[in-house]
């Protein structure tokens, strides 16, 4: 039997990075916050002041979290792949889920009444406008997918520039530069909904700063360094307190109609307070992931997040608006009651979505941007 020998003059290929449980669990908690935030958003539209506070709290960090986690899970060996390979991988992992789930909701809208704020879907013109918006990255049929569109731009930026950040200090300077430049750009120009909106490249500039922060954190080995449970729990409580103390200090300037951080519209508020609260929130969820890293079911749920995220558009467009109106008429929705009922809606929504996501991931993995496993290839045994 022939044995392949490695040429010592040729660098050995980098192995894929090991999955870190805290990242997967933080990702699952993050998608739960997406479900929660989009439900309280509908309650807020009904004039509920408490819902507006909850909305501002969640939105102060939950989307920066996803950019950060995308960077922390990035395999830096991919910087060496060829352009064709990068384009094929991006199309498979980002564009296929984006267009597939936009198409799904477009078809559902033909039969179900829904809330589509970017265009009235009551005419051929409305569908044509929404289709054009979707093609330029503004997913009118499935608005929550804006992050997936933006992530395409972030990953293109890193593929083009990532080879430059060979030293940690250069990456730190790059992250600061992209953050400040992105904030300036979005304050100077209002891209959202304008003819110049194209795959959220204006948000990708800021998102890339958090993406680089995730890569830096992964490089530092902080995510895998053993820490005492009491220390992790104490740090998580400090992060929670920090969010509560700082999220409302950010008083703008925001873009109307929201008095809150809303990344999709390019609204960040105070240039210093926004990243402060965002990183406190990122720290909170990663620390919670550390505390629960032995709970295998949470790790598994974190690995299913892409499908939970894509399916969430069904609740955003078809379920949340009428459900929020129905509950507001019949149930107490102030103070702690809002937290309770919104948490119940979130838990039930996620529970309904999970078996669908599991079936799609098992039988139609391409919808999640994954290839179907080759049954002729035996898995490697460590």
pLDDT tens per residue, range 56-100: 999 999 999 999 999 999 998 899 999 999 999 999 999 999 999
Query: Cα dihedral angle (27, 294, 358, 151), rounded to 10 degrees?
Result: 20
Higher pLDDT residue, 104 or 16?
A: 104
The answer to whether the peptide bond before residue 156 is cis (omega within 30 degrees of 0) is no
Residues 29 and 23: their CA atoms lie apart, in Å, by 10
In a domain? residue 30: yes
Asked whether residue 29 carries a pLDDT value surpassing 60, the answer given is yes
In a domain? residue 380: no
In a domain? residue 310: yes
In a domain? residue 15: no
Model pTM? 0.92
How many domains in the chain?
1
- Between 261-270, 301-310, 364-373, the lowest mean confidence (pLDDT) is in 364-373
For residue 87 the two structure tokens come to 């384009």
In a domain? residue 374: no
What is the rounded average pLDDT for all residues in the chain? 92
Asked whether residue 377 carries a pLDDT value surpassing 50, the answer given is no
Which pLDDT value is given to residue 8? 42
Asked whether residue 374 carries a pLDDT value surpassing 90, the answer given is no
In a domain? residue 5: no
- Between 190-199, 208-217, 273-282, 353-362, the lowest mean confidence (pLDDT) is in 190-199
Which pLDDT value is given to residue 373? 56
- The residue range of the domain holding 318 is 21-368
Residue recorded with tokens 């990255």? 137
**At 376, is the pLDDT very low, low, confident or very high (cuts 50, 70, 90)?**
very low
Q: Which of 36, 62, 33 is nearest to 51 (CA)?
A: 36
Rg (CA), the chain: 21
Contact status, residue 109 vs residue 131, Cβ threshold 8 Å: no
In a domain? residue 336: yes
In a domain? residue 223: yes
CA 94 to chain centre: 12
Residues 355 and 61: their CA atoms lie apart, in Å, by 28
Q: What percentage of the chain carries pLDDT values higher than 90?
A: 83
Angle, CA of 70, 309 and 238, to the nearest 5°: 60
CB atoms < 10 A from the CB of 175, how many?
A: 21
For residue 177 the two structure tokens come to 């530069």
Which pLDDT value is given to residue 371? 73
């Amino acid at each position: 039997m022939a044995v392949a020998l490695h040429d010592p003059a040729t660098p050995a290929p980098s192995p894929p990075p090991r999955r870190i449980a805290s990242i997967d669990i933080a990702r699952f908690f993050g998608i739960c916050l997406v479900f929660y935030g989009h439900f309280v958003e509908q309650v807020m539209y009904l004039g509920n002041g408490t819902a507006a506070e909850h909305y501002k709290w969640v939105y102060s960090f939950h989307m920066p979290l996803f950019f950060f986690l995308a960077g922390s899970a990035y395999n830096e060996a991919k910087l060496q792949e060829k352009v064709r390979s990068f384009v094929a991988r991006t199309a498979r992992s980002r564009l296929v889920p984006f267009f597939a789930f936009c198409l799904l909701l477009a078809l559902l809208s033909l039969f179900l009444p829904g809330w589509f704020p970017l265009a009235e879907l009551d005419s051929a013109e409305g569908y044509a406008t929404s289709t054009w918006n979707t093609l330029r990255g503004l997913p009118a049929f499935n608005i929550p997918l804006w992050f997936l569109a933006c992530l395409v731009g972030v990953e293109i930026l890193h593929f083009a520039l990532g080879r430059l950040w060979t030293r940690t200090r250069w990456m730190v300077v790059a992250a600061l530069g992209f953050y400040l430049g992105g904030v300036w750009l979005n304050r100077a120009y209002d891209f959202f909904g304008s003819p110049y909106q194209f795959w959220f490249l204006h948000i990708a500039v800021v998102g890339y700063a958090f993406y680089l922060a995730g890569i830096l954190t992964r490089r530092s080995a902080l995510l895998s360094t053993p820490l005492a449970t009491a220390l992790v729990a104490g740090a998580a409580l400090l992060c929670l307190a920090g969010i509560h103390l700082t999220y409302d200090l950010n008083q703008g300037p925001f873009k109307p109609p929201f008095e809150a951080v809303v990344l999709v519209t390019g609204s960040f508020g105070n240039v210093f307070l926004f990243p402060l609260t965002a990183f406190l929130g990122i720290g909170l969820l990663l620390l919670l992931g550390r505390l629960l890293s032995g709970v295998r079911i949470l790790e598994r749920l974190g690995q299913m997040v892409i499908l939970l995220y894509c399916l969430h558009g069904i609740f955003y467009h078809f379920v949340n608006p009428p459900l929020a109106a129905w509950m507001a008429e019949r149930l107490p929705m102030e103070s702690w009651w809002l937290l309770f009922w919104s948490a119940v809606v979130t838990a039930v929504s996620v529970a309904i979505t999970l078996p669908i996501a599991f079936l799609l991931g098992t039988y139609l993995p391409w919808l999640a941007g994954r290839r179907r496993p080759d049954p002729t290839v035996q898995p490697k045994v460590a």
